[in-house]
Amino acid sequence: MKRSFPGLLGLAVAASLATASLLPDRVAAQEPIRVGELNSYKAIPAFLEPYKKGWELAVEEINAAGGVVGRKLEVVSRDDNASPGDAVRVAEELVSREKVALLTGGFLSHVGLAVASFANQQKVVFIASEPLTDKLVWESGNPYTFRLRASTYMQVSMLVEEAVKLGKKRWALVYPNYEYGQSAVASFKALMQARQPGVEFVAEQAPPLGKIEAGAVTQAIADAKPDAIFNVTFGPDLQKFVREGTTRGIFNGVTVFSLLGGEPEYLDPLKDEAPVGWYVTGYPWDQIKTPEHDKFLAAYRARWNDYPRLGSVVGYAALKSVAAAIAKAGSPETEKVRAAMAGLEVDTPFGRVTYRALDHQSTMGAYVGRTAVKDGRGVMVDWRYEPGEKHLPPDDEVRKRRPQ
């Protein structure tokens, strides 16, 4: 005789339906969190190739430790062609087509400002790793944009602290004629005039980025007969400026301050032609002896069989910031991550930094020292680490400069 068990059958069916209804949530929980990363890889390889190695190492470490909120991180990376228009197009593609949870990256300041504007319009979090212009978090600051590296104001303040001790009166200025260079020089002028009344700026050379005519620039500086030079050029422009200036002797008896001039990305190509005695911000990677840097250095060398550049630190810290924000938020949901970024603390190779709620600027500092040549290469000597929070203006001034 055939027997049936309607009660048991009904329970089994109900259990099966309940399990099936949970599957989408379980699948979603297991899917990686996609992070959109965009940068000027083809245009600035000296900095951004090490930068990419840095963030790749960070992602590997994060995922090996179980990911974030139970999910792995997956970075979708694109080149922005060093163009504001292309960067916005790429950002749109990452958000709409690739469905990334947030954006990170950026190198050139004018490109970073374009992406920040897009982030604000589209209400997507943008953790800007490298763009240094002050406008990114002040005049053009917005609720969705946060910046990792010490800004132009902060790093210029570190150098001005040394410059005023020397009392040099006549200054020549050399900078790339775009947002970063303009921002750095504006901060330098304002801080020097406030700290050293009577200072004069006797020459100002602003060649287009990547197109310096070093002969004409150095001759103009020589004609002005300055006591000191403030240089903001970097990359190939810096190399040409150093070589031409050395050949013409314009650095003889003249004190030089150079923003970013101690970064290995820019010193290494000069080899034994590196300048001697310049005051710089940079990264003495082989001399830093702190637990957090020792750990990073060992991991980086083991992974890449190479030494880190400053870009490596920035890329690594950027993705650690992404992971920390999502972990604090408990979710990759935009508004939760945005709220988590305010006051977020992140451990980096330079120590713990905080993203300030006031202006979304992190307190990452920089190393300040002088250049020398050792064993056929440029190095930093007599250096010290300057905390970022020490070189920010008063909160009231920040509030006046930041519209939101």
CATH of the domain at 179: 3.40.50.2300
The answer to whether residue 185 is domain-embedded is yes
Shared domain check, 329 and 242:
no
Shared domain check, 192 and 334:
no
pLDDT tens digits for range 59-73? 999 999 999 999 999
Give pLDDT, residue 19.
52
Weakest-pLDDT range from 22-36, 43-57, 99-113, 349-363:
22-36
Q: What is the average per-residue pLDDT within 272-295?
A: 98
Shared domain check, 303 and 382:
no
pTM recorded for the entire structure? 0.92
C-alpha to C-alpha distance for 311 and 234, rounded to whole angstroms: 14
Q: What is the number of domains present in the chain?
A: 2
pLDDT score of 350 more than 80: yes
Shared domain check, 373 and 241:
yes
Shared domain check, 61 and 94:
yes
The answer to whether residue 14 is domain-embedded is no
Give pLDDT, residue 13.
43
pLDDT score of 109 more than 60: yes
pLDDT score of 208 more than 60: yes
How many Cα neighbours within 13 Å face the side chain of 25?
5
Shared domain check, 235 and 110:
no
**Two tokens, residue 326:** 């999502």
The answer to whether residue 263 is domain-embedded is yes
pLDDT score of 193 more than 50: yes
Which structural domain, as residue segments, surrounds residue 349? 29-150+288-364
Q: Which residues contact 136 (CB under 8 A, 6 or more apart)?
A: 109, 112, 113, 116, 128, 145, 147, 151
Shared domain check, 135 and 47:
yes
Shared domain check, 172 and 114:
no
Share the mean pLDDT of the chain. Answer: 93
Shared domain check, 173 and 57:
no
Give pLDDT, residue 182.
96
Shared domain check, 202 and 101:
no
Shared domain check, 158 and 97:
no
The answer to whether residue 21 is domain-embedded is no
The answer to whether residue 74 is domain-embedded is yes
Shared domain check, 298 and 199:
no
The answer to whether residue 399 is domain-embedded is no
> Model confidence at 23, in pLDDT bands (50, 70, 90)?
very low
pLDDT tens digits for range 327-344? 999 999 999 999 999 999
Q: What is the average per-residue pLDDT within 18-22?
A: 50
The answer to whether residue 237 is domain-embedded is yes
pLDDT score of 2 more than 60: no
C-alpha to C-alpha distance for 310 and 75, rounded to whole angstroms: 21
C-alpha to C-alpha distance for 68 and 325, rounded to whole angstroms: 10
Helix (H, G, I), strand (E, B) or coil at 250: coil
> Model confidence at 403, in pLDDT bands (50, 70, 90)?
confident
